[in-house]
């Protein structure tokens, strides 16, 4: 029976980025996914400076010099232009490039699912739904948040980011060159009971990508509700839609439990709970982390005991400092899921008053635990009295466990990946 050095489960950005990083170090890779060549559906974006220069040169489809947020308060609606260039990723070009690289390195693709994984000594045996059995030195599971092969630390309280998007043809829409809506929280009706925002990218003078999003919720929110909100918002904006070119339905799980330290596989991407608990960001972190773990695997595969290799890679993905910051972000998630629209608007009015390095660091997950704690303190100081009370109440009543873990000296020793 043929031995496969590394089997990667999945075919999304996390799976293909780590597979490409591995073959570029000389490691042999095979991929298992139900439809490994299916076009990626979600649209991806991020702050331009979060990506390497060569990635930006090759895969930025468009950039926006004037991303803005729209918020409302007692004085009416206000618009704030954010510092920093925002990028739309050319997902088709990136996927095609990844697949081309993998084919050049003679990667084997198995268009099926993995039924079971059994470990025997230094080898893993993967039973596929197609009836085939693969034997591998190492398995990387990048199949998404619902993987059955990754052991998690307990059960989390389910929360989601939900979004309904369209790529639309319009009559000239009036967006200025370089302008995009990063978050537009303008209320659509009186007495709303849930906050949603518009995310909008002009693709040309008569084409837009628009998306109505609930940032974080545990409520039952339907895509039909979001679609109706989006259509209402476009009508209020005076945007004349002449055709819908594409639709997008996104449901991103937030605050997933961390992987346990003892695993039979290496989880990556959403399978490793790498989704930012409060913003839903994942893409830029995956792109940055894939080469790092590939380099470690290539240098140590067959040299380091397998259990130690698995543990070492998990600690690259989830070092102790990042696990502490995650607990602080979980406090933010608990806040966001419990705020009514008024508190939500007060929150983001204060949030975007923070210094650039603070709010950007929060969204991008680039702050140290100390820096994140300082950012949260600044946020509290900038908040209105009612919001301050809400922040304290939610932390004490619903997030005290996360606060304790973030500051406890024993936390990273007891729950080391």
Query: Which of 9-23, 164-178, 364-378 has maximum average pLDDT?
Result: 9-23
Taking the C-alpha atoms of residue 170 and residue 341, their distance in angstroms, rounded to an integer, is: 30
Looking at the DSSP assignment, which residues form a beta bridge with residue 87? 46, 63
Range of the domain at 284: 3-43+90-152+260-318
Percent of the chain with pLDDT over 70: 97
Same domain membership, residue 266 and residue 126: yes
Q: Is residue 59 one of the residues assigned to a domain?
A: no
In tens, the pLDDT along 229-273 reads: 999 999 999 999 999 999 999 999 999 999 998 889 999 999 999
Ranges of H-type helices in 238-368 = 283-300, 306-317, 320-338, 341-351, 356-364
Same domain membership, residue 244 and residue 185: yes
Q: Which of 208, 226, 254 is the last residue of a domain?
A: 254
Residue range 57-77: mean pLDDT, rounded: 87
Same domain membership, residue 285 and residue 147: yes
Pick left, alpha or beta for residue 331 (phi over 0 → left; psi -120 to 50 → alpha; otherwise beta): alpha
Same domain membership, residue 240 and residue 187: yes
In terms of Cα–Cα distance, which of 42, 359, 48 is closest to 199? 42
Q: Which of 202, 229, 254 is the last residue of a domain?
A: 254
- On whether the CB atoms of residues 274 and 282 are closer than 8 A, the answer is yes
Same domain membership, residue 167 and residue 235: yes
Q: Is residue 53 one of the residues assigned to a domain?
A: no
Taking the C-alpha atoms of residue 399 and residue 36, their distance in angstroms, rounded to an integer, is: 40
Strand locations in 76-177 (E) = 76-81, 86-89, 108-110, 114-120, 123-128, 133-141, 159-170
Q: What is the pLDDT of residue 261?
A: 83
Question: Helix (H, G, I), strand (E, B), or coil: what is residue 53?
Answer: helix
Mean residue pLDDT of the chain comes to 92
Q: Which CATH number belongs to the domain containing residue 314 in this structure?
A: 3.50.50.60
- On whether the CB atoms of residues 282 and 46 are closer than 8 A, the answer is no
Q: Is residue 80 one of the residues assigned to a domain?
A: no
Q: Is residue 56 one of the residues assigned to a domain?
A: no
Structural domains in the chain (count): 3
Q: What is the pLDDT of residue 17?
A: 98
In tens, the pLDDT along 330-352 reads: 999 999 999 989 899 899 999 99
Pick left, alpha or beta for residue 151 (phi over 0 → left; psi -120 to 50 → alpha; otherwise beta): beta
In tens, the pLDDT along 376-397 reads: 999 999 999 999 999 998 888 8
Q: Is residue 202 one of the residues assigned to a domain?
A: yes
Same domain membership, residue 118 and residue 10: yes
Contacts of residue 279, Cβ cutoff 8 Å, sequence gap at least 6: 215, 362, 363, 365
Q: Is residue 51 one of the residues assigned to a domain?
A: no
Taking the C-alpha atoms of residue 91 and residue 40, their distance in angstroms, rounded to an integer, is: 7
Q: What is the pLDDT of residue 372?
A: 95
Residue range 296-311: mean pLDDT, rounded: 93
In tens, the pLDDT along 80-103 reads: 999 999 999 999 999 999 999 999
Q: What is the pLDDT of residue 227?
A: 97
CA end-to-end distance (rounded Å), the chain = 33
Q: Which of 318, 350, 367 is the last residue of a domain?
A: 318
Same domain membership, residue 144 and residue 28: yes
In terms of Cα–Cα distance, which of 124, 107, 98, 44 is closest to 290? 98
Taking the C-alpha atoms of residue 296 and residue 18, their distance in angstroms, rounded to an integer, is: 12
Q: What is the pLDDT of residue 125?
A: 95
Same domain membership, residue 314 and residue 192: no
Same domain membership, residue 272 and residue 367: no
Same domain membership, residue 206 and residue 171: yes
Taking the C-alpha atoms of residue 30 and residue 131, their distance in angstroms, rounded to an integer, is: 16
Same domain membership, residue 327 and residue 311: no
Q: Is residue 81 one of the residues assigned to a domain?
A: no
Same domain membership, residue 273 and residue 247: no
Q: Which CATH number belongs to the domain containing residue 188 in this structure?
A: 3.30.70
Q: Is residue 110 one of the residues assigned to a domain?
A: yes
Question: How many residues are listed for the chain in this entry?
Answer: 417
Taking the C-alpha atoms of residue 371 and residue 407, their distance in angstroms, rounded to an integer, is: 13
Q: What is the pLDDT of residue 142?
A: 98
Q: How confident is the model at residue 154 (pLDDT cuts 50, 70, 90)?
A: confident
């Amino acid at each position: 029976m043929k031995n496969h050095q590394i089997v990667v489960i999945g075919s999304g950005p996390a799976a293909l980025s780590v597979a490409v990083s591995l073959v570029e170090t000389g490691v042999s890779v095979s991929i298992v996914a139900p439809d490994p060549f299916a076009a990626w559906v979600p649209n991806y974006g991020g702050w331009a400076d979060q990506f390497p220069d060569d990635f930006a040169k090759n895969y930025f489809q468009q950039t926006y010099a004037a991303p803005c947020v729209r918020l409302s308060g007692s004085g009416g609606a206000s618009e704030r232009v954010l510092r920093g260039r925002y990028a739309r990723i050319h997902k088709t070009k990136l996927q095609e490039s990844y697949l081309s690289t993998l084919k050049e390195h003679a990667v084997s693709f198995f268009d099926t699912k993995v039924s079971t994984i059994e470990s025997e000594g230094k080898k893993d045996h993967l039973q596929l739904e197609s009836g085939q059995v693969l034997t591998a030195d190492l398995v990387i599971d990048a199949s998404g948040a619902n993987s059955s092969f990754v052991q998690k630390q307990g059960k989390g309280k389910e929360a989601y980011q939900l979004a309904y998007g369209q790529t639309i043809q319009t009559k000239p829409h009036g967006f200025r060159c370089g302008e995009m809506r990063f978050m537009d929280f303008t209320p659509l009706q009186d007495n709303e009971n849930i906050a949603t925002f518009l995310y909008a990218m002009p693709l040309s003078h008569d084409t837009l990508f628009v998306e109505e999003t609930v940032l974080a919720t545990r409520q039952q929110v339907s895509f039909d509700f979001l679609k109706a909100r989006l259509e209402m918002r476009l009508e209020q904006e005076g945007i004349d839609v002449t055709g819908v070119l594409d639709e997008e339905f996104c449901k991103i799980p937030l605050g997933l439990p961390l992987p346990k330290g003892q695993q039979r596989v290496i989880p990556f991407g959403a399978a490793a709970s790498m989704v930012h608990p409060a913003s839903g960001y994942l893409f830029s972190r995956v792109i940055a982390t894939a080469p790092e773990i590939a380099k470690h695997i290539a240098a140590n595969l067959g040299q380091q005991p397998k259990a130690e290799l698995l543990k070492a890679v998990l600690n690259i993905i989830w070092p102790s400092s990042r696990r502490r910051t995650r607990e602080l972000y979980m406090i933010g998630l608990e806040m966001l899921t419990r705020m009514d629209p008024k508190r939500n608007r007060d929150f983001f009015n204060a949030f975007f008053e923070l210094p650039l390095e603070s709010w950007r660091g929060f969204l991008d997950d680039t702050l140290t635990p100390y820096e994140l704690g300082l950012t949260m303190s600044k946020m509290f100081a900038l908040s209105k009295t009612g919001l301050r009370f809400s922040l304290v109440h939610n932390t004490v009543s619903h997030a005290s466990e996360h606060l304790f873990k973030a500051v406890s000296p024993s936390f990273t020793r007891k729950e080391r990946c």
